[in-house]
Amino acid sequence: MTTTVPTQRSVLVFCASSSSCDPAYHAAAARLGDALARAGDILVYGGGALGSMGAMADAALAQGGSVVGVIPHFMRELEWAHPALTQLQLVEDMHERKREMLRLADAIVALPGGSGTFEELFEAITQKRLGLFTKPIIIFNQNGFYDALFSLLERSIEERFMNEKHLEIWHSVDDIAEVLPAIHAAPEWPADAIRFATV
């Protein structure tokens, strides 16, 4: 059985704030923003104006899409927030931001990024492991960026820190065009996943 995802989905994307990485990462993020807007989906993300985050939001807005940013006050004060989003939700801190972003999400996509992206992705994976979040998590493995992460997760399963079933928490795609189809194709995740959360 595949996951039932609403017709107008809110797709939460974690991606890089870096302006210094290979521009190919920004270009892929922009393609995803464009595709989400064309599909009529709402883009939800961390609300930043820089790097892949800014490129993705700009592309979605340019295509007439709806973009919701969730950003802590202190980041806005640093002028990190994108100035032209459909909606900017201000939250107290990083914890509230993740909670709110996950609450809004019908699906999650992680693109290449740094510690902020990893932190958000791991919170989502852990919540799904516990059955507290059940929606699709798609990882865009651009240029094999996430190969090392998959190796680490597989080792964690081999060494029985995690269960083999946990391999179904996330799905990896190699082409940005495969992200939206992968959301639809993701198998349903059981709400009672807590039963096999431990090994």
Q: Is 17 in the site for ligand AMP (CB under 6 A)?
A: yes
d(CA 108, CA 111): 10
Binders of ligand AMP in range 126-165 (CB under 6 A): none
Q: Is 80 in the site for ligand AMP (CB under 6 A)?
A: yes
Q: Which is nearer to ligand AMP, 100 or 168 (CB)?
A: 100
**Paired residues of 138 in beta bridges:** 109, 171
Q: Which is nearer to ligand AMP, 19 or 151 (CB)?
A: 19
Enumerate residues 6+ apart whose C-beta is below 8 A from 82.
47, 48, 49, 53, 54, 57, 67, 69, 88
> CB under 6 A: which stretch of 27-35, 114-122, 138-146, 164-172 binds ligand AMP?
114-122
Total residues interacting with ligand AMP, rule: CB under 6 A: 18
Burial, 161: exposed, middle or buried (Cβ in 10 Å; 0-12, 13-18, 19+)? exposed
> CB under 6 A: which stretch of 84-92, 107-115, 128-136, 177-185 binds ligand AMP?
107-115
Q: Residues 75, 121, 153, 183: which binds ligand AMP (CB under 6 A)?
A: 75
Residue indicated by tokens 């393609």 = 31
